[in-house]
Structure 1
Amino acid sequence: MAINDKALALEALIEESLHPLAQLRQFLNSLSSHHYQEVLGERKMHTLGKHVRHIIDHYDALLDKDISSFPASLNYENRKRDVALEQSPPLAVEHLRWIECGLQALKQGSASSHLSLTYPDDPTTLTLDSSLERELAFLTSHTIHHMALIGLLAESLGLRVPETFGVHPCTLRHWQRESLETSARSA
């Protein structure tokens, strides 16, 4: 079903972003600082905290901009990279709540739909037309991708994650349709 009304589309995209963020926040509430900071991988480059901080950085790149006027310029390359968010699950949880509030505020409709995305491609910098809706769709997919990595890393530490952790909403909808079809065939 296509959503033609911009306000409804924006609201649906915001809700789709809020779900994994709430799931991530809930996971972090049960996580020790030790596990959050533990260095993993053969090259010793990964921590759960680095992936969480990376997710937060991308939402901050959008929400720290004044997107109430056109053209708002967005650049994911020049992120804050606040190392404190990699070290402290409670600080990350607090920041995720701030992001969730910021996303909720976007529903009020004062944000411009039109965005300009700056994409450094050395030696040339590209300026690409985008939209708030497009960037929200990107951020949801980006978040889910990193949550899947977080899930794998957590499992390597012996931690349990929910079955739907790091699973994109479209995959969840697909699973639900398959389940309904299987139930209908069984009936």
Structure 2
Amino acid sequence: MIAHAQLQFDELLGLVARMEQQDFTAPVPVLSNASISQHLRHILEFYICLMDAEGYTVDYDARKRDKSLETDRDATLTKLRQLRTWIAQQDRDVALTLIADHSYDGSSCERMTTSLFRELAYAFDHAIHHMALLRIGIAQQYPLLLLDPNFGVAPSTIRDRLKCAR
């Protein structure tokens, strides 16, 4: 999984590196006027929560929401590289506690046992979902910015497509 997460970061690095600052931060109507950079920030925050987990506790709701990742393409590239390096160094699973509140009114905070690798898998899948949204936004707003055909496509879908093509 670590190698696949690194490949995902390579895809994201390639995308951000090819975008102009103004395109990176511009609202995209088909994404409810969210920008490419806002989706990237959101993707990265889940990995940042894991990297910065203090006391082996992860709380995605308490993520920092670093606005520089929305407004500064270079800051996003730097954070992508930092996270890719951190992911490459993860060679053993460790127990974590996940804090989550799935209620609408904030009344149901729960603690759950999980692990680093399980949460990395979650962050990976979460990123694919947002990459699929990015794919739609880019196709609509920046049609000349070509993406790999598998950008934003789940590995299981890619495998199924390959199986069906045989």
Using the size of structure 1 for normalisation, the TM-score is: 0.79
Residue 116 (1) aligns with residue 116 (2):
no
Task: Quote the RMSD (CA, aligned, Å).
Answer: 1.8
Q: Residues 57-95 of structure 1: CA distance to partner in whole angstroms, max 9, x if unpaired?
A: 1100001125xxxx7111000111111111122221111
- Superposed CA deviations along residues 15-42 of structure 1, whole A, max 9, x for unmatched, are 2222211101111110001111111227
d(CA) in 2 for partners of 1:96, 1:176? 30
Go from structure 1 to structure 2 and tell me whether the alpha carbon gap of 1:38 and 1:92 turns closer, same or farther (over 3 Å shift). same
Matched, 1:19 2:19: no
Among 138, 152, 160, which residue is 1:166 paired with? 152
Q: TM-score, normalised by structure 2?
A: 0.89
Which protein has the larger Cα radius of gyration, Structure 1 or Structure 2?
Answer: 1
- From 106, 109, 127, the equivalent of 1:143 is 127
Residue of structure 2 in register with 1:7 after alignment: none
Shift of 1:45: 3.5
Residue ranges of structure 2 left out of the alignment (5+ in a row): none
Aligned to 1:130, what secondary structure does the other structure show? strand
- State the alpha-carbon separation in 2 of the partners of residues 149 and 167 from structure 1: 10
Identical columns (%):
25
Question: Given residue 33 of structure 1, which amino acid in structure 2 is its aligned partner?
Answer: Q
